[in-house]
Chains A and B, each alone.
Chain A
Amino acid sequence: MRDRVIAMSPPGRAPRVFIALSALVPLLLGGLFVDAALTPYRATLELTPERVAIRHALYGRSWPSGAVEPGSVRAVDFEREPGLAPSWRTNGIGLPGYA
């Protein structure tokens, strides 16, 4: 006799909605991760006569230029002053090579 091929009942709306929503979450997270990976390549320190600003996608901030205490400004090398190196992140992004 010839083989008979009989289909399973097609899935209803519930599994389609479940899969669509479940697939959306990792896609959105993946997009967020890609964006976060590019963040270090886009951050800048902007100095204008009016303001000092950190341009950063998530943690950008700006201050009036007069708010920076000139005496506090200096270049620091973490290897010479390890006490200033990050030890504990309380809020933010942290990846190997980027804090």
Chain B
Amino acid sequence: MFATASEVVLFTTADGTRVLFSATDAAAAAAALRERDTGSFALAPPTAAAPPLTLGLLSLLLLAVTALLVSIYRAMSRTTFVVSDAGLRIRGMFPGRPLAHRELRLDAARVVDLTEERGLRVSLRTWGAGMPGYVAGWCRLRDGQRALVQLTNRRRVLYLPTTLGYSLLLSSDDADVLLAALREHAASSSPA
């Protein structure tokens, strides 16, 4: 069946196939078939714009998924950690709010290798993005802590507990520099 309109040409073939075809001129197509004339009959265009509209909308939806994936990649490639006298701010996906120095437990902070520190590995992502080689967002760690993570390279990670009931896990090739900068800024901004 090839139906786009209520008028169709119907014919049956020797193998028992019953064919219904909405030709633009069903009567002329039927006459040509009966008379064994030659000719070409186009399928009548759909009366409504529904087929292209429906599939156009579906295609737009799929394009939006692709755009979302591209934006995730851009975000993960551009994530930065900004240390200022005000505290620490994460620029990237799922950044959380800026954290003041007094909310950071720098005494307990350290640079860790997650391939060795299994207790600090992510066990459950509760809100965020995750794919092989990348996790960003809110997670539960294996040792039960809540954590806001920005993870790519698992061998160079700053583990930074806060006074707010969760920890930060931040991948950086310069994790030592990040920790040192946090300590410097915290020292310079603390009241004498």
Contacts of A52 in B (CB 8 A): 11, 13, 33
- Interface SS, B side: mixed
Contact of B76 among A11, A48, A65 (CB under 8 A): A11
Which residues of A (10-66) have their CB < 8 Å from a CB of B? 10-19, 22-23, 26-27, 29-30, 33-34, 36-38, 40-49, 52, 54, 56, 59, 61, 63, 65-66
Interchain CB contact under 8 A, A30 and B58: yes
Interchain CB contact under 8 A, B81 and A38: no
Interchain CB contact under 8 A, A97 and B50: yes
B3 at the interface (CB under 8 A from A): yes
B63 at the interface (CB under 8 A from A): yes
Interchain CB contact under 8 A, A72 and B188: no
Interchain CB contact under 8 A, A41 and B81: no
Q: Which of B29, B70, B132, B174: most chain A CB closer than 10 A?
A: B132
Q: How far is the CB of A87 from chain B (nearest CB, A)?
A: 11
Q: Which residues of B contact A (CB under 8 A)?
A: 1-4, 6-15, 17-21, 23, 26-27, 29-30, 32-34, 36-43, 45-48, 50-52, 54-56, 58-59, 62-63, 65-66, 69-70, 72-73, 76-77, 79-85, 92, 131-134, 150, 152-153, 156, 170-174, 177-178, 181, 184-185, 188-189
